[in-house]
Amino acid sequence: MKAFHGCCDSEKVIGSVSPKYQEKKADSIHVMLAGNPNCGKSTLFNRLCNLNVRTGNYPGVTVSRHVGSYGDRIQIIDLPGIYSLNSASTDELVASTELLDNDAELIVNVIDATSLERSLYLTLELKMLGAPMVVLLNMWDEVKKRNISIDLEKLSKMLDADIIPISAASGEGLNAFEDYLRNVKWGVVEPVYLGSDRIVRELSAVADVTPNLYKSHALFYAKSAVLGDSCPEALTKDEKWLAAVETAKNNIASGFDTIYQAMASDRYDYVDRIISECVAGGAQAAEGRKKSGLSAKIDAVVLNRYMAFPIFILIMCAVYYISVSWLGSIATDWANDTLFGEEIIPAVTGTMTSLGASEWLTSLVSDGVVGGVGAVLGFVPQMIILFFLLSVLEECGYMTRAAFILDRIFNSFGLSGRAFIPYLIGSGCGVPALMTARTLGSESERRVTLFTTTMIPCSAKLPVIITMAGAVFNDFLVFDIFGTEFRMFAPVMYLSAVFIVILSAIILSKFSQFKSSASSLMLELPDYHRPMLRVVVLSIWQRVKGYIFKAGRIIFPCVTILWLVSHIGYVAEDGRFEMLDDSDTDNSLVADLVRPVSGVFAPLGFDDYRASVAVITGLVAKEAIVSTMAVFVGVDEPEEPEDDASDEELAESEEQTNAFYTAIKNRMFHVDELGIKGVLAAFAFVIFNLFTIPCVAAVGVLRKEIGSSRLFWIAIAYQLGLSYGIAMVVYQFGLVFAGVAPFSLWTGISIAFLLVIAYILFIKKAPATEQSISFEFVKD
């Protein structure tokens, strides 16, 4: 066997993060990481396999299993966190199913040693699976810091398992665990129920009559059957076994309110015994508040009745103001104007010309490829800022606090506070946001979240908002407060997104597919952590890397094809194709192809074929909208101000500098010809693109997560319909209010649309609440 390498000489560790890393190999040894949510499994997994799966300081970050290789023979499988092997939400079901499939040669039970009592409940359940198990007492540094003393030898004896104290975050104790992996005895062990003799007797009675085929799991199935969990079908047809289960159930439940209470009490009694014998000070010490003093102090302020909302609003405003408006726009302006506009594009053009490339090739490379891809890459600095702030939020432990204070508000539109987490993640990227919806407690809540999370502007829609704000809305929604200019376009778009999500949640709650009781919030409040620089940097890198790769893999071919079809025209009289001038895209292939369908957007005002092409490329990736604009409008050289120009002329030329913006404004939306009409069309364009169906990647995840294809198509139709309707209302009403167009058929249709929404909101009754919570499990 090849020697193992630890994290400390990490360059030698072979970690694979290929798209296929979800695959398990049959000939490997499978080591499964199991434990409560937020106990540090993924952090440990990342260290052992030298990978970088998503981590965060809130329960439910891992929503599907991750497989990583450790050495040549061992595969480590990171599972979503669970409290028990019965599971209510989809992510927990993934973990339970995986553990019950039982091809684990070793179960690694990761435990938050600072809340031993809570964690051991699952440990006792895992002992019933009959796989070798090692218990890792994670957060051992914190245990030492708080002067909690745990008798490891005694604990090991009482749990009949090996115990290794570690700190996954700092890497302390990992060597001991890796030694353990090297010397572990692989094989099967006897499943045991650790608890009172009374229950052992009852469960054994059931196990004794279990048919031989299921003998190895007899104990676990006995426990499952008693609790009413699903068991293999063949077993449920065995009369003798069924009768034994019934007897055991009645015997165990006698004297208790419910069978669940009987079983849970027994297990917690055993846990209490462990605590009182192994933890210094015993049960009394464990009972009080174990939370670290600092966390309690922060919570006293952050969760204070009067301070909670102001602090929440302040944090949210700070995150988005910094990343979207202030620092973010400084970064983007620099990257777009200085780096690309003044350095890279002229340099590329110069090089191409000096190499003697033909004019159209130069234009393809500099305007098409560099301009198109650059329009997207220019946003990388801004993205880094946004992802930095989001990952700090995820790491520090504030997410669950936000869920806590928002719960009541979310309840009023049928969601629980926990739904805040996917929406916040969605402002970074919709794909992980859609997957996070798995952790929500009820199917209806999941559906509403899946329908609406992608309406929150993600990092790829941010370039669209910023570009359009610069191009068209520079003179609108700008307020002068105490001499400082506040450009409100971006904030207004983010707020509209929140408004539309709320509107959607209320609309959807009126239909039976979405209406069941909002799941009750049951969420552990973790201690605050100082975000670790390493984790934050890695997570920014991972996300930005995805964005940059997308620019190469998707945007690059996209703009190249687009440039070609927009610069090649078909000349009917000659029956041949020919190259067109930059400004002549009106006669291009893409214009011929798209113009007939661009009428679809006439009611929204933007029926120019260029805008329609942007909408279509936006379905591939939202940032492609900006690239498309770059390809179509080209980037003309800004006019050099003349030497003797007056100040006024200089200022004017300053405005002219951004030729890209001016071109979008006038060529795409014809603001110079149409005036306010063009501005309204541009506004409708932004609204439609922000709230309509997301990019292909997100649509694929949506399809997988939503389960049924009928619901999927409803979701698509809903997103299309709503975004179209709202954009239409804004445009048509805008025309009438601005007095540039008379009342028309489309004004009427817009009014009808609003009436339908109003009917659903205010008159339609919500269907009767269903108590049943059902899950359609989506297998990876």
Partner 1 sequence: MILNEMKEGQTGRIVRLLTEGARNRRLCEMGFLPGTVFIVTHRAPLGSPMAISVRGYEVIVGADDAGKVEVEIV
Using CB under 8 A as the criterion, which residues of the chain lie in contact with partner 1 when the complex forms? 83-84, 86, 88, 114-118, 121, 227, 257-258, 260-261, 263-265, 268, 286-291, 296, 299, 303, 305-306, 308-309, 400, 403-405, 407-409, 411, 416-417, 517, 519-525, 773
Instruction: Give the whole-angstrom CA distance, residue 199 versus residue 196.
Output: 6
Q: Which is closer to partner 1, CB of 285 or CB of 564?
A: 285
Contact 467, 629 (CB under 8 A): yes
**In angstroms, rounded to a whole number, what is the distance separating the alpha carbons of residues 459 and 462?**
5
* C-alpha to C-alpha distance for 445 and 154, rounded to whole angstroms: 44
Using CA atoms, how far apart are residues 724 and 732, in angstroms rounded to an integer?
12
Residue 486 forms beta bridges with which residues? 479
| Burial call 538-571: b when 16+ CB within 10 Å, e when fewer | ebbeebbeebbebbeebbbebbbebbbbbbbbee
Using CA atoms, how far apart are residues 320 and 313, in angstroms rounded to an integer? 11
Nearer to partner 1, 299 or 394 (CB): 299
CA separation (Å) from 78 to 14, 37, 98, 705, 778?
A: 16, 12, 10, 20, 18
What are the angstrom distances between the C-alpha of 434 and each of 429, 437, 472, 621, 688? 9, 5, 32, 16, 20
Q: Which residue lies nearer to partner 1 by CB, 272 or 582?
A: 272
Output Rg (C-alpha) for the chain, integer angstroms.
30
Closest approach of Cβ 430 to partner 1, in Å? 26
Q: How far is the CB of 305 from partner 1 (least distance, A)?
A: 5
CA gap 540, 534 in Å, rounded: 10
What the block records as the tokens of 579 is 């190259």
Nearer to partner 1, 289 or 576 (CB): 289
Give me the least distance between CB of 446 and partner 1, in Å please: 16
Find the shortest distance in angstroms from Cβ 448 to partner 1.
17
Q: Which of 2/289 has CB closer to partner 1? A: 289
* Structure tokens given for 756: 């339908």
Angle, to 10 degrees, between the axis of helix 676-691 and the axis of helix 609-620?
20
- For partner 1, the closer CB: 303 or 674: 303
Taking the least distance from each CB to partner 1, the nearer of 116 and 681 is: 116
Q: Minimal CA–CA distance to 162: which of 139, 181, 135, 138?
A: 135
Whichever of 290 and 529 has its CB closer to partner 1, that residue is: 290
In the block, tokens 């703009």 appear at 559
Closest approach of partner 1 to the CB of residue 111, in Å: 12
Query: At closest approach, how far in Å is the CB of 404 from partner 1?
Result: 5
Q: How many residues does the chain have?
A: 780
For 181, the token pair is 């992996």
Q: How far is the CB of 694 from partner 1 (least distance, A)?
A: 30
How far apart are alpha carbons 46 and 542 in whole angstroms? 13
Q: How far is CA 681 from the centre of its chain?
A: 31
Nearer residue to partner 1 within complex by CB, 488 or 773: 773
Q: Decide if 422 contacts 492 (C-beta within 8 A).
A: no
Q: CB–CB of 59/526 below 8 Å?
A: yes
Q: In angstroms, what is the minimal distance from the CB of 240 to partner 1? A: 27
CB of 322 to partner 1, least distance (A): 25
* Helix pair 218-226, 239-253: axis angle to 10 deg: 60
Amino acid identity of residue 542, one-letter, is Q
Q: Which is nearer to partner 1, 264 or 751 (CB)?
A: 264
Tell me how far apart the alpha carbons of residues 748 and 726 are, in angstroms, rounded to a whole number: 14
CB 137, min distance to partner 1, A? 14
Q: Is 708 helix (H, G, I), strand (E, B) or coil?
A: coil
**Distance of alpha carbon 721 from alpha carbon 259, whole angstroms:** 49
**CB nearer to partner 1: pick between 271 and 706:** 271
| Closest separation in Å from C-beta 121 to partner 1 | 7
Task: Report, in Å, the least distance between residue 290 CB and partner 1.
Answer: 4
CB of 258 to partner 1, least distance (A): 5
Question: Do residues 410 and 420 touch, judged by C-beta distance below 8 A?
Answer: yes
Q: Are 186 and 74 a contacting pair, CB within 8 Å?
A: no
Nearest to partner 1 of 86, 666 (CB atom) = 86
Nearer to partner 1, 70 or 404 (CB): 404
